[in-house]
Chain A
Amino acid sequence: MTDAILPRVIPDRIPTRFAFWRRWETILFGVAVLIFAFDAVSSPHFLNPYTLSDATYNFTEKAIIAFAMAPLIIAGEIDLSVASIIALSSTAMGAAAVAGASPALLVLVALAVGAVAGAFNGFIVTHFRVPSIVVTIGTMSLYRGIAYVVLGDQAYRSYPPGFDYFGQGYVWWVISFEFALFLVLAVVFGVVLHLTVFGRQIYAIGNNPIAAQFSGIRVDRIRRILFVLTGVMSGVASVLLTSRIASTRPTIASGFELDVVTMAVLGGVNILGGSGTIPGVVIAAFVMGLVTFGLGLLNVPGIVQSVVIGTLLISVIALPIVVRRVAARWSKR
């Protein structure tokens, strides 16, 4: 928000020496490798296919939302209501399961609820021209609030047989369904964002919405699509999470939104919009998963893990900026 004072320079695709080594994704990948090595050295149980497979559950659900959150942030918007959409979808699924719905129908219900919730966010943001951060702080309370109204202090626990596959099933050997879906969606979102006209339009909107409007891009329509997409992905995450823990409480997935945004930003998505990549988000997902799982192996409590994540978030963003400023001061002398 501070940087809005100066016209933004777009560093995208400017050929420089060592461009590859200075890319955010390369640096982040190095961090991921370091953490992986650290985990492997510090715990003898880490380098085991089954352990590693378990480790993926730490990030797949959040990463799937982050894939949609990344384009949304690149377009200059944000959605803080994703965790509440999970709660709402999960509640709807629980109610449908009580009514005797089949697993396939449950998935449909979750996706539909996600789409509607996302569409509502998009409608308020584009129709009333309100900053998405405020709108989604509002719907964050509203959506989870509806889950509270329906469930109160109760929980849904009865899900039909077969529903457990989404969160607990394995596609092949140690590759879980969640991890396979994570990989497929990474490719889909990567292709759409980086290789299609629609993808380029998202960057255009994020860099200058007015110029994008004048160059014939239907800005509001794309914003609405991105909000719906984020809602649908939250619905997908809701299916996975609900299936994995096999119960729905109104508090389900609380705090997820911060992790999802952290993942996107850590992955190099500019919180002010206009730049970021899906490969970056994928690496960030691994970094966050490895950090939390590695610390878990070392018996570090969850809340202390969040200190590490928070420090990581600030330091990886601050370091390049500080280094650049110090370098600039040196070259002046």
Chain B
Amino acid sequence: MNGVFRALGTTFKTMLRHPVTVQYPDEQLPVSPRRRGFPRLLVDPEVGELRCSGCGICARHCLTQALKVTMKDNPNFAAGKSQRKKIVDKFELDVGQCTECAVCIEMCNSGGIEMTKEWCAPSTSRQGLRRDLAQQNGSAEAVH
């Protein structure tokens, strides 16, 4: 019976407190600075091209098969500007599949990927969840 009054007191107290939820996605709660987000490709500043050669080792080791990588001949190599014979053509990431585990970074031989803080990428279609990182590199803030 004491419990009844205790329960009433507790619920009344919580009612007077501010809600802990927010109107997502209009408002968003701050995420931990240590939180990882989706990967992005890095640019080699000396040549001004992506470091990724498109070898696809990251895609082969991706646990959720969220990556799809193709390579092409590097036009800069033909022009004599770059040492890289091959370069990434398309680097498709499915953000609906990506678990942000960073295995791709562990596997990368050319140091061409890093994690960003971007974790929220809603879309109304399945296709909207697929993005070509080779086209949009450098858009998200990196984790250091």
Do A and B come from the same complex? no
